[in-house]
Chain A
């Protein structure tokens, strides 16, 4: 027992004894007196505890007070369920939207990559010094030279593609990365079971005639039951024998913008039946590269070393490397270059929404505090310090803030499901977004910050109107502050409209851009068209002639299907993510190889244009008679004709694109037709110049089937494609069987995602700003009921009263819209650079948005004022005067 407790006991003992003595003196029997005294003392322990708590330290005390006030605040909220519901819901919308967007920002931009020292990893690209900003993959010989630079601790090259897999259950297509044997070392990630690649395993047949493969955890489980069971097993990939040497940890992904089932080395690309293998062609740019900077080396130093080496290569290999430069792009920037500005714009937009929500809640708190002025004044008069009253107010804000954040987290969780599902595949790591610890801290921070913001408004108001007097003085002071308070609310409403206009303008710009993009004519007719990829394994179809023969027979079979109107095949088809580029020469005006322009190539079968709905404008289509041995021909698109064949007859012109499948060099081809342009990479990129070449003259082992189905018979057509391929070779899997419309749709996905999100936030901002304006106007009308009553009694027309109220509200909104418009104008420059890559054929200063947003907002403001205005006009003058 402490001295303090002993003192307490002694003091209470004395008190009881003194009380008993008093009763004894009044004639009560001593024992009875003692009993009564003890009874009067009540539950001793209870008030001992209270007394003790008064003696405790100030910190514990303060905490206890805050706790008590918080409990009081919660009880107060329960007693005002309407106020509580509106305030908490408003805040939940604001905090929920912010938390959801921040979850994405955290997953995509802030979370470190799951590799060793990820900040030292960079992508290495080659560029063409004639086209600043260009970015292309490396050739294997260039990669081999560049990795020697001492500033690099390691370098790895990789490319991704689909492979047919057999020998491990049912034949299937798997997504595979072909990588240099250094990849996992550079990333600093080990296999979970077995091992990653060893040095030398990117040479063919390094494991006693077999090649090494590393499986993902998911594929190992689905094919062999467990990761451990997969190690050491044999599989056949693209007709070649492999041994699984290891399985990566669950969740491991590389490259991060793709989803690999397994990793092989570039070994198979080192051998070729015709001409030099891919790995020996310095002009073939097909490998992406990731490098790890050596310890202590800054990126500029590494870039300088790479530059020196590139210059030497340019002199040494004039034909291929004359205009080569290199560029290092940090890992994060490489994946987020276009998504980062969008996410930051979205974050800014939800920030505006939260501010608007905060103002509304502040208004609610203010109105509530006003109704309770009497209570506060009495409390202050009874000895509650100003600090205590402020603490009570802040506790209420805190309670609202925390409850709002709690509800906001629930909303954010739901919103995240939608975000991840709707999000375009281009946002790397989007699917990793969740309510992670940093996100929870963010939400809590928002709750505290917003509580402080909207809690301070009534608190400051209270302080301002407090003049140290009692109830009467407070009442006097209040009359004086009503006017200034009203002015202040007006400024806040104007600010809400300014913020809402900013978000709305941004949303309209994106929406306009989206409608432009939707309206783009892609140059083909996607409706009822199905595409499917078919790859022939080299091992069973070794020669180009085999490939040509297979696809010829396959198309013959498909043409006989009643569900299929027309059919062809091509590599690539528009929006498939594939592209073939090569340089070309014109015998009529030859150029040295280094100076030859580059063009896109389409290798197609007869019937492709028809099936895809690409119009033949001049000349003729390819036929089955155009084969290896017959005259070498080509078809060009309009963009090609415009750019390279201006002033010629076009038809009959001779071109020599750098592409061949048979020995004897690249043949010179005669142009026999002109077709319409097609958007190839995405809908927002202009149609590139293209040369089409008949598949029979340059047979590819992998083509994309294009079948135009009879309308309504899409399912039958899909079944027919499957049957036809399997009927010819049961071991050839069909993959990516999907409607062409789906490719168009996913090409629209990023723009739609951006417009949808910003549009949603703009709608939220609009709604909240309208509610804010409505609340202020309704309150103003209620306060001025007497004045309005007098006006009506003196003969004012109802129309004039309506006009009076509307004018006041619209002046407020107009002020905000005006300020917001100037702000948007200024900000659009920032927005333009941020969204440049995300806008199609629309300027950030889009006149439609800059004019439409204020109009839309003004009409919303009008609607928000109309109801209070009508109510004011409908007031009964006698009743409203009697009220006072």
Chain B
């Protein structure tokens, strides 16, 4: 812990699901996309990304398939399952509540 761009497990799942909601992607692209959209603030370590992907796959929230990539080589593309889409919605709702609550606390704590 301690590094500002460290992502906590639950949040990373949310980010992955959100990214895949747009289109199926391979692992490298997912990490890249999160980094770009967050304005280079969030850097996804591969050491967290792939375990998270496999965990989501085991929970049947995403499914992986080998397809041809933009470079012509075979890559594993992940896409959201219907269950993944539903999960994304509840996670998003929960995130909104949490961030609002934390915001309240953090802002109120100002001296």
Contact = CB atoms under 8 A, between A and B. Distances in A.
- A associates with B: yes
Interface string A567-594: 0000000000000000000000000000
Interface string B1-29: 00000001111011000000000001110
Interface in B31-65: 32, 45-47, 50-52, 54-55, 58
A7 B76 contact: yes
Contacts of A53: 51
A21 B26 CA distance: 15
B69 interface: yes
B47 A50 contact: yes
Interface residues of A, number: 30
A170 interface: no
A469 B55 CA distance: 24
Contact of B97 (A18, A40, A469): A469
B71 A21 contact: yes
A40 to B, nearest CB: 7
A10 B28 CA distance: 13
A54 interface: yes
B104 interface: yes
Interface stretch (A379-387, A393-401, A701-709): A379-387
B101 interface: yes
Contact of B51 (A12, A19, A47, A472): A47
A383 B9 contact: yes
A382 B50 contact: no
Contact of B75 (A14, A21, A41, A383): A14
A145 interface: no
A41 B46 contact: yes
Interface in B46-104: 46-47, 50-52, 54-55, 58, 69, 71, 73-76, 91, 94, 97-98, 100-102, 104
Contact of A381 (B45, B69, B98): B98
Interface in A455-514: 469-473
B98 A14 contact: no
B46 A47 contact: yes
B43 to A, nearest CB: 10
A884 interface: no
Contacts of A41: 46
A472 B101 contact: yes
A11 B50 contact: yes
Q: In this complex, which of A7, A11, A47 has the most chain B Cβ atoms within 10 angstroms of its Cβ? A: A11
A14 B26 contact: yes
B109 interface: no
Interface string A49-72: 011011100000000000000000
Contacts of B100: 472
A504 to B, nearest CB: 49
Given A54-B58, A381-B98, A470-B97, A18 B71 contact: yes
Given A10-B74, A11-B76, A14-B73, A51 B101 contact: no
B104 A472 contact: yes
A515 B9 CA distance: 68
Contact of B94 (A18, A42, A50, A381): A381
A42 B58 contact: no
A384 B97 contact: no
Given A14-B69, A15-B27, A470 B98 contact: yes
Contacts of B10: 381-384
B107 to A, nearest CB: 13
Nearest to A19: B28
Contacts of A51: 50-51, 54
Nearest to A475: B101
A46 interface: yes
Nearest to B45: A42
A22 to B, nearest CB: 8
A7 B11 CA distance: 26
Contact of B54 (A40, A42, A54, A382): A54
B74 A14 contact: yes
Q: In this complex, which of A7, A14, A17, A46 has the most chain B Cβ atoms within 10 angstroms of its Cβ? A: A14
B101 A471 contact: yes
A47 to B, nearest CB: 4
B106 to A, nearest CB: 11
Contact of B11 (A42, A54, A382, A472): A382
Contacts of A55: 54, 58
A51 B45 CA distance: 13
Given A11-B76, A14-B76, A470-B101, A383 B11 contact: yes
Contacts of B76: 7, 10-11, 14
B50 A47 contact: yes
Contacts of A18: 26, 28, 69, 71, 75
Contacts of A383: 8-11, 13-14, 91
Contacts of B102: 471
B15 to A, nearest CB: 11
A447 to B, nearest CB: 31
Nearest to A381: B98
A12 B26 CA distance: 11
Nearest to A14: B75
A54 B48 CA distance: 11
Contacts of A50: 47, 50-51
Contacts of A17: 71, 73
A520 B55 CA distance: 78
B9 A382 contact: yes
Contact of A46 (B13, B47, B91, B101): B47
Contacts of B46: 15, 40-42, 47
Nearest to A471: B101
A471 B54 contact: no
Interface in A846-873: none
Q: In this complex, which of A15, A19, A40 has the most chain B Cβ atoms within 10 angstroms of its Cβ? A: A15
Nearest to A8: B50
Contacts of A40: 46
B28 A47 contact: no
Contacts of A22: 32
A754 B14 CA distance: 65
B68 to A, nearest CB: 11
A50 B69 CA distance: 25
A381 B58 CA distance: 21
Nearest to B50: A51
B51 A11 contact: no
A248 to B, nearest CB: 65
A369 to B, nearest CB: 20
A42 B28 contact: no
A182 to B, nearest CB: 71
Contacts of A384: 10
B87 to A, nearest CB: 10
A54 to B, nearest CB: 4
Contacts of B94: 381, 470
B51 A54 contact: yes
Contacts of B26: 14, 18
A777 B76 CA distance: 62
B27 A11 contact: yes
A401 B50 CA distance: 37
Contacts of A46: 47
A7 B76 CA distance: 9
Contacts of B101: 470-473
Given A15-B46, A41-B46, A55-B58, 9 more contacts: A14-B75, A47-B46, A50-B47, A50-B51, A51-B54, A53-B51, A382-B9, A382-B10, A383-B9
30 contacts: A11-B27, A11-B50, A14-B26, A14-B28, A14-B69, A14-B74, A14-B75, A15-B27, A15-B46, A17-B71, A17-B73, A18-B28, A40-B46, A42-B45, A42-B47, A46-B47, A50-B50, A50-B51, A51-B51, A51-B54, A54-B51, A54-B55, A54-B58, A55-B58, A381-B94, A383-B14, A470-B97, A471-B101, A472-B104, A473-B101
Which 6 pairs from chain A and chain B are nearest by CB? A383-B10, A382-B10, A54-B54, A47-B47, A472-B101, A381-B98
Interface of B: 8-11, 13-14, 26-28, 32, 45-47, 50-52, 54-55, 58, 69, 71, 73-76, 91, 94, 97-98, 100-102, 104-105
